[in-house]
Amino acid sequence: MMMSDIFTRRFRGFRVVELGGLAFFIVLALGVYMVKAGAGRDRAQIARIERQILVEQTRLRLLRAEVAHLEQPERIERLAAAYLGMAPTSPKHEATVETLGLIALKAPLPAPIATPVTLPVEDDAIQVIVPATGTVPAVPTTPVAEVRH
């Protein structure tokens, strides 16, 4: 079949080229319709997401306003005085960076407390009382099995 036959050959009263063009335009129209429907779905999804963004931005502004209200110094002072019995520091008790070392030297040291420590020895555990110095007594480094032999 030659190229010129496509333009002259007829099928049920229509030329083959006309039928091919009609089929092409039908496929093209369906393709445009499908793309337009997909774009409409995308547009609806974009509008839904933009509404969600506006709702979240409004919620974020409300939360920031609530935080600003909760962080008000007057409110915190009032609650500290009412529930914790706290008051502002008097100038007598204020310290500077230079005086912190002197304050630390004058402060009494807390009394050391002996605490029990569990040390593993050959599948058994023994309790050792740590002296007030805070050092752990020396534990033999040789395994118990070697000492018995």
What pLDDT does 36 receive? 95
Q: Is residue 101 part of a domain?
A: no
Give, in degrees to the nearest 5, the angle at Cα 89 between 83 and 95. Answer: 140
Are 4 and 16 a contacting pair, CB within 8 Å? no
Q: Is residue 148 part of a domain?
A: no
Residues 6+ apart with CB under 8 A from 80: 86
Residues 6+ apart with CB under 8 A from 87: 81
Q: Is residue 111 part of a domain?
A: no
Domain coverage including residue 14: 3-76
Q: Is residue 139 part of a domain?
A: no
* CB neighbourhood size of 25 (10 A): 10
- First-to-final CA distance of the chain: 106
What pLDDT does 93 receive? 79
Is the per-residue pLDDT at 67 higher than 60? Answer: yes
Q: Is residue 45 part of a domain?
A: yes
Residues 6+ apart with CB under 8 A from 147: 140
Q: Is residue 104 part of a domain?
A: no
What pLDDT does 17 receive? 80
Task: List, for residues 19-35, the tens digit of each pLDDT value.
Answer: 889 999 999 999 999 99
Number of domains in the chain: 1
Q: Is residue 70 part of a domain?
A: yes
Are 121 and 144 a contacting pair, CB within 8 Å? yes
Per-residue pLDDT, averaged over 83-101, amounts to 86
Q: Is residue 92 part of a domain?
A: no
Radius of gyration of the chain (CA): 44
Answer with the residue of higher pLDDT: 94 or 129. 94
Task: List, for residues 121-131, the tens digit of each pLDDT value.
Answer: 555 455 555 55
